[in-house]
């Protein structure tokens, strides 16, 4: 089903929050059953380097289809990484 109504959820921030990753469905489609998987990937790289642009670029490279026959990774992909530097 196609809809113009986005999925929206609100959460209270805690002192342990490191970042927010917001993205369109093209970002989440490989991890539709386990959204935590994509967060774990970003968190691991975030701990290694604090270059948010590179983190998002690497994420896009990881998610894009290497072959359009895969059917996953062919959708548009938009993501925003907001970090909470301490």
57 vs 53: CA distance, rounded Å: 6
The residues, ordered by sequence, that sit 6+ positions from 77 with a Cβ below 8 Å of its Cβ are: 23, 24, 26, 27, 60, 63, 64
For the record, the structure tokens of 55 come out as 């983190």
Entry pTM = 0.76
Structure-model confidence comparison of residues 50 and 16, the more confident one = 16
Given a cut of 90, is residue 61 above it in pLDDT?
A: no
58-85: average pLDDT: 80
At residue 21, φ and ψ (nearest 5 deg) are -115, 115
Say what the pLDDT of residue 55 is. Answer: 93
Say what the pLDDT of residue 73 is. Answer: 59
The confidence band for 12, taking pLDDT boundaries of 50, 70 and 90, is: very high
For the record, the structure tokens of 3 come out as 């809809």
């Amino acid at each position: 089903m196609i809809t113009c109504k986005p999925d929206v959820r609100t959460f209270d921030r805690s002192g342990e929050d490191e970042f927010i990753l917001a993205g369109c469905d093209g970002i989440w489609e490989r991890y539709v059953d386990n959204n935590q998987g994509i967060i774990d990937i970003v968190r691991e790289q975030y701990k290694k380097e604090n270059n948010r642009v590179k983190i998002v670029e690497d994420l896009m490279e990881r998610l894009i289809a290497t072959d359009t026959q895969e059917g996953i990774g062919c959708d548009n992909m938009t993501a925003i990484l907001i970090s909470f530097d301490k």
